[in-house]
A = this chain, B = another copy of it.
């Protein structure tokens, strides 16, 4: 937060485009890694900005220090810090923290909760089971080309409303019951691992576009409930 909305250096990780990384990303990941290695020396760590440590450990942490660096450098509150925990490769706990708005969406057990403004509330996904009543989000339409675009458009054509521009914050809105669907592709494991258990514990379903585990990233489909998820998968399959 000390670097949010301040003039900071922005490096580009991508030769053929613009994939920004800032000192805020690196410093946040270093701080999280320092805490984890001190407190859980036997655990593995996978993070966006540094090399993996013991990624096949029974317990492995998976970190995206700033998910949504493009939002971060634009002054927008759509980014978040993601920390997930794998147990034998299964995402079992996670947190999405948005320090500007002061929201912390997380799960460590049977329920997912939001801590905000001194209150804690249990999260429940939307009961909407029809695509025609669903609000859908995705980070940006340019991420979909070719066959991916056809499958994305097959779903957007069936929903009530499509919104763009929020990274991990969109998944938090699924968990909290405000929107029903997020569809994205090209994700890394650290973009989604922390969010899977939060949405699942709130009643939702997160898979890839074929209905398999999304824990390793790639094509991701998050839905508010199993009935809506089945309809969304069918729309994609019939694209």
* A residues apposed to B, CB below 8 Å: 5, 18, 20, 70-71, 73-78, 100-101, 135, 137, 140-142, 160-166, 169, 173, 176, 178-179
Contact = CB atoms under 8 A, between A and B. Distances in A.
A179 B73 CA distance: 8
Nearest to A101: B101
A76 B160 contact: no
Given A18-B161, A161-B18, A165-B163, A179 B75 contact: yes
The quantity of this chain's copies bound in the complex is 2
A71 B178 CA distance: 10
Contacts of A140: 162-164
Given A163-B165, A164-B140, A176 B5 contact: yes
A76 B136 CA distance: 13
B18 A76 contact: no
A15 to B, nearest CB: 15
A116 to B, nearest CB: 10
